[in-house]
Amino acid sequence: MIDGAEPAPGRVAAALATVGRIRWIGVAALAALSVLLWLEPPFVVRQQQQWFDATQRLLPRKVTQLPVTIVEVDQKSLAALGQWPWPRTVLAQLVREIRKGAPQAIGLDILMSEPDRSSPEHWLDNLPTHDADLAQSLASLPSHDEELARALASGKVVLGMAGTPEPTGMVLYATPILVAGDARGAAALQGRIPHYAGVLSNLPVLEKAAAGHGLLSVETESSIVRRLPMVASVEGTLVPSFALELVRVSVGAPLLRLQTRDGGVRALQAGKFVARTEEDGAIRIHYSPRDLRRFVSAIDVLKARVDPEQLARKIVLVGVTGVAGVDYQDTTLGERMPGVEIHAQLIENLVEGSAVIRPPWARALEVALFAVLGLVLIRAAPSWRTPATVAFALAAMIVPAGAALAAFAAAHLQFDAASPAFALFALFATLLALTLGEASRERRALRRQMQEEREASARMAGEMEAAQRIQVAMLPREDAFRDDPRLDLAAAMVPAREVGGDLYDFFRLDGRRLFFLVGDVSGKGLSASIFMAVSKALAKSAAVRHPDDDLGAWMTAVNREISRDNSESLFVTAFAGILDLDSGDLVYCNAGHDDPYCIAAASGLRRLRGGDGPPLCAVDGHEYAGEHTFLDRGEMVVMVTDGVTDMRDPSGAMYGRERLEALLDHLRKAPLDAHAAVAAIRDDVRSFAAGAEPADDCTILALRWRGAR
């Protein structure tokens, strides 16, 4: 019996081929997804932006200091001084009041491209008549724009400008920016940084009076301000941002220096102050939630109702917040802020060094990490159990996200964990679908195979059942000699499988002689059963054809006939006897079989010794010799095959000859009966086995001579 079965080589090869096919498909998907991550198409960029926004919402910047104060033209100021725009004399007064607080720099987030129409020289422009004397008197009054220019000139004030896609013809005023490196590097910058064909600037009289000039232009990504350029090209001239120019003026640097790296921007420097940027010269703002401590009302400044400490040593921005339709923008925190507050937060980022940087090597690292994790996933998915694969896939998506958050919190570095996670999920889903699909296909194939095996087993069971019926039909009936008072005979055979290799037979040679035979074919199952049938037929044929031959000669002839066509090299142990029913004379011959037992109430238990020879088909040409004994009246001969004594219980203990002899000795104390003896032996063996599968066929034949008629 085969205790266990290894997978068939064909099935193993097919399984390995399937796993290999899934992995190659996974590698192809991994390569495609890696290229997609590297190229960063629009939908990948959107995922990145959503992740970056979520990062800022989870870890917003904490306000530890307020280096910037915003003087806002709010509803309160408009209610007190009238609608916007105010006369520039009011702005001049506002600048002077701010200067009294000794700020480091002042920035006007206001564009003044046209003259002040409330200035005296413009009062008569729309009148139908012209009075020369009145015009001369008005012209002698100070211009509002000139008064504002004088206020600007007396302090460190920075004016803003806006870039335009088309030329405007306006004069560009800009702080010099020196580019570190050769001319080729400077030229390469023009392709990296934002470019504007024209500029919308302030009146020349104001620009000439200002201490600095910075770009106010804000570019949104999906309507959200995430990044602001620190430098841009306007009409081919490098121009600093409004925030950077304010920092330069506050530190007193005469110019800016631009550091390059690989044709892109590395940093911008104003004196000892250095601001790191991304390759296109932009900075990602690390936003804090709106903080009203940044704001003071313009009317409170004009009325001297502001604590001087709110202006002292601060960078002060002046902007409009109280006018409907003013420049409000969405931020990564989900809040809408006025543009002046966004510039204020950018200045805070620059001063604190808290601006977010996405390193130039970030994309390469993200793609490489995705490729490594993807390869591990490809290796694992077809061979690991599904729960383990799911756990690894989740860890591969969650752990990089945690690492990205840690890098953001510790060093203000921004890495994209969302796009690789989505790519890993897509790869995992592909592998899982392929693996589950293959598993489903294998289950269907297994169900078909099991169905075929069940059908084959059913056919085999039917064939075995038919073979069993044929085998049982070949055995003589126990009641064949029921009417003979000289004889009490019973037999039973329990095959180890549906059919077995044990045999027994009994028939009359003539009116007074009974031939009987018990045999055991080596092996079990169908092959042993077939060999048993052949052996039984040959043995009976020889006995019937030569009933008067010596029993040893008969056994020799049977050995010769059976050995002739024994391609499987099977052998048969056999015990044959001829009992004279009138005299009790018993002639027998033993071919390697267990010696039978003789039971008599008076004489006890004895074995039939002698007449021994090797099993049939074991030794070619062996000459067997018979033996002779007499049975007493009522004495019973019991023959068993080794399946009885070799029977084992569930613990492995053997039934054994001693237990059989004890049972037979017990039987002799009761009235002897062949049927009772066979039943007792069969039931005792079955009780001992306790459900354990028999190791061999069990055959029992009991023959009791009752005496002559």
Query: How does pLDDT run across 355-389, given as a tens digit for each residue?
Result: 999 998 999 999 999 999 989 888 887 777 878 88
Q: Quick one: how far is CA 498 from the chain centroid?
A: 49
Mean pLDDT of the chain: 87
Query: How does pLDDT run across 376-422, given as a tens digit for each residue?
Result: 888 887 777 878 888 888 898 899 999 999 999 999 999 999 999 99
pLDDT, position 1: 33
Where does CATH 3.60.40.10 sit in the chain?
A: 475-705
Residue 83: which residues within 8 A CB-CB, separation 6 or more?
Answer: none
Residue 674: which residues within 8 A CB-CB, separation 6 or more?
Answer: 488, 489, 490, 636, 702, 703, 704
Query: How does pLDDT run across 78-132, given as a tens digit for each residue?
Result: 999 999 999 999 999 999 999 999 999 999 999 999 998 887 766 555 555 566 6
Query: How does pLDDT run across 547-577, given as a tens digit for each residue?
Result: 777 888 888 988 888 888 777 778 899 999 9
Q: What does the DSSP 8-state code read for residue 34?
A: H
Check: CB of residue 195 under 8 Å from CB of residue 236.
no
> Distance between CA atoms of 499 and 471, rounded to whole angstroms?
7
What's the helix, strand, coil split of the chain in %, to 5?
A: 45, 20, 35
pLDDT, position 276: 93
Q: For the residues 612-625, what does the mean pLDDT come to?
A: 90
Q: What does the DSSP 8-state code read for residue 203?
A: -
User: What is 475-705's CATH topology?
Assistant: Phosphatase 2c; domain 1 (3.60.40)
Cite the DSSP H helix spans in 321-475.
339-352, 362-380, 386-411, 418-474
In a 13 Å sphere around the CA of 155, the CA atoms on its Cβ side amount to 27
Q: With helix as H, strand as E and coil as C, how does 597-611 read? A: EEEECCCEEEECCCC
Task: Tokens 């009302």: give the residue.
Answer: 297
Q: Output the six-digit token pair for 595.
A: 């010696």
Query: How does pLDDT run across 642-701, given as a tens digit for each residue?
Result: 889 999 999 989 999 999 999 999 888 888 899 999 999 999 999 999 888 887 888 999
Cα angle 597, 602, 606; round to 5: 20
Q: Could you give the 3-state DSSP secondary structure of residue 561?
A: helix
Cis peptide before 400 (omega within 30 of 0): no
Residues 616-632 as b/e (b if ≥16 CB within 10 A, e otherwise) read bbbeeebebebbebebe
Burial class (CB in 10 A: 0-12, 13-18, 19+), 458: exposed
**CA distances for 305 relative to 94, 296, 309, 322, angstroms:** 13, 10, 12, 19
Q: What does the DSSP 8-state code read for residue 593?
A: P
Check: CB of residue 307 under 8 Å from CB of residue 31.
no
pLDDT, position 517: 93
For the chain, what percent of residues have pLDDT higher than 70? Answer: 90
